[in-house]
A = this chain, B = another copy of it.
């Protein structure tokens, strides 16, 4: 696929991503229809992100559902690295996690890796990370997680139990393994090298805090998978179940190629964008359209490479029939890019408006969610 070199690590996603190849490289499993249908029975319906294939791979998600059906306690764990403002791409695992929490009525441990962002980015100060953390927390809560079942914590402010657990993980992870998994070098700082233990710790934090058996599922984007390889490797050595995982694709940026990235602000829709800003970005998005309206009507567009179509498909248009019609109509020349952009801009605007409302409400409830020692 493509000529550009493809890099997918927990810190960097670059080049064209071949999800089939990633499944092989990471040794994870594709989400089969059988598994998805099993989830559907529990949920009473399928989340858009499943129907449209944004969640595409997993690790023992079926065994995690086995645990649920057999009465083993099931737990969710996901997180956020607070390196800046939140954008739509960050939301994907959270929206899906909320769906799983609603379905299985289970506890969610949500880790905010303030230490990671400080350690990995030479420019960032702890004060900046603290500010991002404060703002990001509101976005997380705005997603609507169950306040009775959701425990949010940051590594720096919840470090007593976390560091205790991370030290136990660390004892089983050699530098050699960490280097092979994450590509550390002589110039990596010693905090970075330790960090995978802090990231693995929440896989076991519920069991540690409550002294009970539990089976953890981690919904996240596929680039985070190396951490769970480490976690799965140490779990039996520590007497815990291996955590299961369910992995999403990346939402593309609004430009041509690459995932949505906060470092390219014109091609990312931030949750803090005004409706006007978001509309401007959508209007400038890369599409599969022809250079002129006349050519578009004659030759038709190419929805397969169109970012606007992919947003409607993956995230903003729940209506399978409407999406399918959009696809055909575009190919047949019955739609011009302006139409789709307008439709998407309206949906994005509504989404952001609703998010802003929830975000303001979150200022009142944030303490209900925070794990403190």
Contacts and interface: CB of A to CB of B under 8 A. Distances in A.
Interface of A: 115, 118-119, 122, 126, 155-160, 162-164, 166-168, 170-176, 178-179, 184-194, 196-197, 373
Nearest to A191: B170
Contacts of A159: 159-160, 162-164
Nearest to A125: B168
Q: Which 9 A-B pairs have the closest CB atoms?
A: A170-B191, A194-B194, A159-B163, A176-B186, A159-B159, A159-B160, A170-B190, A163-B163, A173-B190
A303 to B, nearest CB: 46
Contacts of A126: 164, 167-168
B170 A189 contact: yes
B190 A191 contact: no
A175 B182 CA distance: 14
The copy count of this chain in the complex is 2
Contact of A174 (B155, B173, B175, B187): B187
A171 B157 CA distance: 18
A155, A160, A162, A178: which has the most chain B beta carbons within 10 Å?
Answer: A160
10 contacts: A118-B171, A170-B189, A170-B194, A174-B186, A175-B187, A175-B188, A176-B186, A190-B193, A191-B194, A373-B373
A190 B176 CA distance: 9
Contacts of A172: 189
B171 A163 contact: no
Given A118-B167, A194-B170, A185 B175 contact: yes
A186 B179 contact: yes
A176 B187 contact: yes
A1 to B, nearest CB: 34
A173 B189 contact: yes
Nearest to A163: B159
Given A157-B160, A160-B373, A373-B373, A188 B167 contact: no
A284 to B, nearest CB: 38
Nearest to A176: B186
A155 B162 CA distance: 12
Contacts of A157: 160
Contact of A190 (B160, B162, B174, B189): B174
Contacts of A197: 190-191
Given A174-B189, A175-B175, 17 more contacts: A115-B163, A119-B171, A126-B164, A156-B164, A157-B160, A159-B159, A159-B163, A160-B373, A170-B190, A173-B189, A174-B188, A174-B190, A178-B190, A190-B193, A190-B196, A190-B197, A373-B373
Contacts of A155: 163
Contacts of A122: 171
A175 B174 CA distance: 13
Contacts of A173: 189-191
A267 B118 CA distance: 48
